[in-house]
Copies of this chain bind each other. A is one copy, B any other.
Amino acid sequence: MGSIDSMSESTFPSLEDVRAAAARIAPHARVTPVLTNSVLDERAGAELFFKCEHLQVGGAFKFRGACNAVWSLSDVEASRGVVTHSSGNHGTALALAAATRGIPAHIIVPAGAVAAKLANIERAGGIVHRCAPTQAAREAACAQVQRETGATLVHPYADPRVMAGQGTIALELLHQVPDLDTLIVPLGGGGLASGCAVALAALARHVTMLGAEPAGAADAFQSLLRGERVTDIQPHTICDGLRATIGEPNFILLQSHQVEVVTVDDDATLGAMRSLWAELKQTVEPSSAIVLAALLKVGERFAGRRIGMVLTGGNVDLDALPFAK
C-alpha cells in the first residue's frame, strides 16, 4: 500500500465518496435493471446477474462518473464548462451530464471514433473538437481548450470523482442481488473497476472481483504481473471502449485490492456478444460482452457462483456488425 500513501488522498475515492456520488447523481441517472437468463446460466454453470448499464442515460455506465464530476463543481467552476478527450461513451456522458447543469461540454474526439458514438456526442449537445488519434494530440487539444475557456478537465477514468460515480454500480448491484459472491467488469482505463473495488472492499469483502481485458490491449494485466504500470502497449482490439491505458491511480487501486485480470481474445468476445444478443436480447457492444467471454474462459473455477456481470454499454454501429460467423 506504499504507493497509495505516496499519492494525494484526494486521488482515490473512499466509500463515503461513492455514497455521496450515489446521492448526487440520483436525480439524473437511472437505477438500471438486472436481467437473468436460464440459457446463459446453464452455459456458464453459474447464476448470472447482468447489470444493464447499456440502459443507463446515454447508453453507457459512463454517465454515472461524468454526472458526479459535473455536480461536484462549484458554481463558478461549473460556469466555465468541462472538457475531456474520449473516443466515445465518456464524451457523450459528459455532454449529457453538462446538459443537466446547463453548462458547456468540450469533447476532444480522435480520428477513427465509432460513428454511432460520435453522433451521440453531437446529439447530446457536446462541442466536438477533432484531433489526431494519438495520446499526445488528445492531451494537447485538451490543454488548449482549458487555456481558452477555463473549463475543468474531467478525465475518463483517472479522476476520483469519476471513479466514485462508477462505483455506484456496485452499491446498486449489492442492493439488487442478495448474496452476490463475484463481480466481473470490463477493464480499460480502470475507472469502473476502481470504483467498484472501493465499494466492495468496504461493504462486501467476500465478493471476488475480476476485470475482463482484451488480450490485444492487456496493459492492466501486464502491469499487475510486473508490479509496475505498463504504458507502451499499442492496443489492437475490437473493444473500442477498452483501448485506453490503465490510469496511474487506477493501477494502484487494482493492485491494492488484488483485482484479478482475465485477458480475452476478440473472437471469444464476439461469440459472447452474439450470445447476449440472441439469448439475453440485449444489443450490447463488444466492450460489454467481454465479461461473458471472460467468465466462459475461467468458467470451472466459478461453477455454481452468483456472479454480477456489468454490461457497460450498447452503442454499436448497426451498419457494421462485427459478428464472427
A residues at B contact (CB < 8 Å): 33, 35, 38-39, 54-55, 57, 59, 116, 123, 274, 277-278, 281-284, 314, 316, 318-319, 321, 323, 325
The 9 closest A-B pairs by CB, nearest first: A281-B314, A281-B283, A277-B283, A54-B281, A33-B33, A283-B283, A278-B318, A281-B282, A277-B318
Contact status B55-A281, CB under 8 Å: yes
CA A318 to CA B273, docked complex, whole Å: 11
A-B contacts, 5 of them at CB < 8 A, read: A39-B123, A59-B281, A277-B283, A277-B318, A321-B321
Task: Give the distance to chain B from A242, nearest Cβ to Cβ, in Å.
Answer: 19
CA A314 to CA B116, docked complex, whole Å: 23
Q: Report the nearest B residue to A38, measured CB to CB.
A: B57
CA A276 to CA B281, docked complex, whole Å: 11
Q: Report the nearest B residue to A59, measured CB to CB.
A: B281
Chain B positions within 8 Å of A284 at CB level: 281
Cβ-neighbour of A282 out of B57, B116, B282, B316 (below 8 A) = B282
A-B contact sample (19 more), CB < 8 A, given A281-B283, A281-B314: A33-B35, A39-B123, A54-B281, A55-B281, A59-B281, A116-B278, A274-B318, A277-B283, A277-B318, A278-B283, A278-B316, A278-B318, A281-B282, A281-B284, A282-B282, A283-B283, A319-B323, A319-B325, A321-B321
Task: Give the distance to chain B from A285, nearest Cβ to Cβ, in Å.
Answer: 9
Q: Report the nearest B residue to A321, measured CB to CB.
A: B321
Task: Give the distance to chain B from A110, nearest Cβ to Cβ, in Å.
Answer: 23
**Identical subunits present:** 2
Chain B positions within 8 Å of A325 at CB level: 319
Q: Report the nearest B residue to A279, measured CB to CB.
A: B59
Candidate in A116, A123, A277 with the most chain B CB atoms within 10 angstroms: A277
Candidate in A57, A123, A283 with the most chain B CB atoms within 10 angstroms: A283
Q: Report the nearest B residue to A276, measured CB to CB.
A: B283
CA A282 to CA B54, docked complex, whole Å: 10
Candidate in A35, A278, A321 with the most chain B CB atoms within 10 angstroms: A278
Chain B positions within 8 Å of A283 at CB level: 277-278, 281-283
CA A148 to CA B84, docked complex, whole Å: 70
CA A33 to CA B325, docked complex, whole Å: 31
CA A123 to CA B279, docked complex, whole Å: 13
CA A54 to CA B281, docked complex, whole Å: 7
Task: Give the distance to chain B from A59, nearest Cβ to Cβ, in Å.
Answer: 7
CA A35 to CA B281, docked complex, whole Å: 13
Chain B positions within 8 Å of A35 at CB level: 33, 55
Task: Give the distance to chain B from A236, nearest Cβ to Cβ, in Å.
Answer: 25
